[in-house]
Every structure is written in C-alpha cells, then in structure tokens.
C-alpha cells in the first residue's frame, strides 16, 4: 500500500502541493518531467516519484544543485546554454514565488504566462508557420530557430511547463523581464496583434498597476 501511494503521481501531487496557491499549480506537473542522477534512487522499478520531479520550472535539482536530466527517452542538450545565468535567476524567482510566496515587483509566474502567448512577427510569416511564434521569442531570438528546427510546439500559457531542454529559455525570459521592469512589458505589447494584444495589454497593465499599488502601500508604511 505504501508503495502504491508513493508511485501514484496524482496522490503525490495532492499530498505534497496542498500549500501551493491555486494560481501557481499550473507550474506543477502531474507526472515526473525530469530526474536528478544524484537523488533519484537507482534500481527501484517503478521508482518512487520525488516531489522535486514535478516542479515544472526547475533546471537544477533543489536538493543537490545538480543539472536535471530529462525523464523521457529524449536526452537533448539545451540549445540555451548562453542564457544559463539568467535562467538560474529565473528559476530562483519562480522558486521564491511558488515555494515561499515571495514576489518581487510582480509575479514571475504571470510573466512566464505572458511570455508563452502567441505573437505575430514582422515580416508576417506564412500562415502555417504562425504557431511557433511566442512573445518569448522577442526576448530570446534563438528560440524561433530552435522551435522551427525541432518542430517542437511550446505549451500554452495555461500549462507553462516546457520540456527540460527548452526550459532555460523561458526562465531566462522571466528573469530578463523581471529585471527590466514594467517598461519591458509595455514594449513587448508592440509584438502582438488583435485579440491577443488586448489580452496581453490587460494582463500586463494589471500587473503594473498591482506593482504600483503595493509600492505605494509599502511607502505609506514607512512614513
Ligand atoms: Zn539532486
């Protein structure tokens, strides 16, 4: 029985993430997306699922700091090595928010969602190529080539968990926007068209207004 509990992902999920806010749950996978060669017990079949394996924003192991490995058959090297430091910063931001409820001027998760929205690049590509362009590609230009080459569709903002080798791009994007501040969100709006532009603008302006209000209230407390 104990073994069954440990290997059923839905049970692990319910048991270990009860304290994570509902709005942050989409970042938690329902099945393991990666593993750590140091921390995952070898030999056990089926291996028990560790909580860490469901954290959809991690690129390094939260226990030992090791680089994580893809849980599936594919073992692709990340094409985003040059963004490694920004990616680690993004990982910390998402970690702080999800695990400790700490935010900076805005929510790192909300930034991640905005970055996964579709955008229309200029010049406008052929219609059957439109699917691959996301806001993130405006910040991490290599993303467009990588996606075109690997024919890998990114997840939607509703479930922002990327395959491990692409994850550094999203994490770096989150870190870059967080550091640049509200003006960057407004700049990114320029890459959107139509309904998506309206949705993006609404979400971004909400984030900016909330940041302004919380800054104002913390200043009030200082007076
Ligand atoms: Zn580890």
Residue-wise pLDDT tens digits, 162-191: 999 999 999 999 999 999 999 999 999 999
pLDDT above 50 for 24: yes
pLDDT digits (tens, 9 = 90+) for 77-123: 788 999 999 999 999 999 999 999 999 999 999 999 999 999 988 88
Using the mean position of ligand 1's atoms as its centre, give its distance from the Cα of residue 69 in Å: 10
pLDDT, position 1: 40
Using the mean position of ligand 1's atoms as its centre, give its distance from the Cα of residue 38 in Å: 5
Using the mean position of ligand 1's atoms as its centre, give its distance from the Cα of residue 60 in Å: 8
pLDDT, position 153: 84
Average pLDDT over residues 46-65: 90
Are the C-beta atoms of residues 168 and 201 closer than 8 Å to each other? no
Neighbours of 63 (CB within 10 A): 12
Who surrounds ion ligand 1 at CB < 5 A?
36, 38-39, 61, 63-64, 66
Checking phi first, is residue 30 left (phi over 0); if not, alpha (psi -120 to 50) or beta?
Answer: alpha
Joined tokens for residue 130: 């439109």
Using the mean position of ligand 1's atoms as its centre, give its distance from the Cα of residue 82 in Å: 23
Phi, psi of 118 (to 5 degrees): -75, 145
Checking phi first, is residue 181 left (phi over 0); if not, alpha (psi -120 to 50) or beta?
Answer: left
Q: How far apart are CA 27 and CA 121, in angstroms?
A: 27
Using the mean position of ligand 1's atoms as its centre, give its distance from the Cα of residue 159 in Å: 25
Q: Is 62 exposed, middle or buried (0-12, 13-18, 19+ CB in 10 A)?
A: middle
Using the mean position of ligand 1's atoms as its centre, give its distance from the Cα of residue 93 in Å: 19
Joined tokens for residue 117: 């929205």
Using the mean position of ligand 1's atoms as its centre, give its distance from the Cα of residue 138 in Å: 33
pLDDT, position 7: 53
| Residue spans per domain, the chain | 2-222
pLDDT digits (tens, 9 = 90+) for 188-201: 999 998 899 999 99
Using the mean position of ligand 1's atoms as its centre, give its distance from the Cα of residue 63 in Å: 5
pLDDT grade for 134, boundaries at 50, 70 and 90: very high
Joined tokens for residue 67: 């680089």
pLDDT, position 8: 58
Using the mean position of ligand 1's atoms as its centre, give its distance from the Cα of residue 27 in Å: 20
pLDDT, position 2: 42
pLDDT grade for 143, boundaries at 50, 70 and 90: very high
Using the mean position of ligand 1's atoms as its centre, give its distance from the Cα of residue 44 in Å: 17
pLDDT, position 99: 92
pLDDT, position 151: 82
Using the mean position of ligand 1's atoms as its centre, give its distance from the Cα of residue 35 in Å: 8
pLDDT, position 12: 59
Residue 34's DSSP bridge partners are: 70
Preceding amide of 70 cis, omega within 30? no
């467009």: which residue's tokens? 144
Using the mean position of ligand 1's atoms as its centre, give its distance from the Cα of residue 67 in Å: 8
Indicate the length of the chain as a whole number.
Answer: 223
Preceding amide of 144 cis, omega within 30? no
Using the mean position of ligand 1's atoms as its centre, give its distance from the Cα of residue 37 in Å: 7
Average pLDDT, the chain: 87
pLDDT, greater one: 46 or 131: 131
Using the mean position of ligand 1's atoms as its centre, give its distance from the Cα of residue 115 in Å: 28
**CA 57 to the chain's CA centroid:** 5
pLDDT above 50 for 63: yes
Using the mean position of ligand 1's atoms as its centre, give its distance from the Cα of residue 33 in Å: 14
pLDDT grade for 11, boundaries at 50, 70 and 90: low
Angle between helices 84-100 and 167-180 (to 10 degrees): 80
């Amino acid at each position: 029985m104990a073994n069954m509990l440990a290997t059923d992902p839905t049970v692990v999920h319910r048991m270990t993430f009860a304290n994570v806010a509902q709005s942050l749950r989409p970042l938690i996978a329902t099945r393991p997306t990666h593993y750590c060669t140091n921390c995952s017990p070898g030999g056990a079949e089926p291996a028990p699922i560790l909580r860490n394996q469901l954290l959809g924003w991690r690129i390094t192991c939260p226990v030992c700091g090791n680089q994580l490995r893809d849980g599936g058959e594919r073992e692709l090297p990340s094409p985003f090595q040059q963004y490694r430091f920004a990616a680690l910063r993004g990982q910390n931001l998402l970690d702080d928010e999800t695990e400790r409820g700490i935010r900076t001027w805005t929510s790192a998760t909300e930034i991640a969602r905005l970055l996964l929205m579709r955008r229309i690049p200029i010049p406008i590509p052929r219609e059957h190529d439109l699917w691959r362009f996301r806001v993130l590609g405006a910040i991490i230009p290599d993303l467009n080539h990588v996606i075109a080459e690997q024919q890998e569709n990114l997840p939607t903002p509703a479930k922002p968990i990327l395959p491990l080798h692409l994850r550094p791009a999203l994490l770096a994007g989150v870190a870059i926007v967080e550091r640049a501040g509200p003006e960057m969100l407004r700049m990114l709006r320029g890459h959107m068209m139509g309904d998506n532009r309206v949705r993006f603008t609404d979400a971004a302006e909400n984030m900016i207004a909330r940041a302004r209000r919380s800054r104002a209230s913390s200043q009030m407390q200082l007076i």
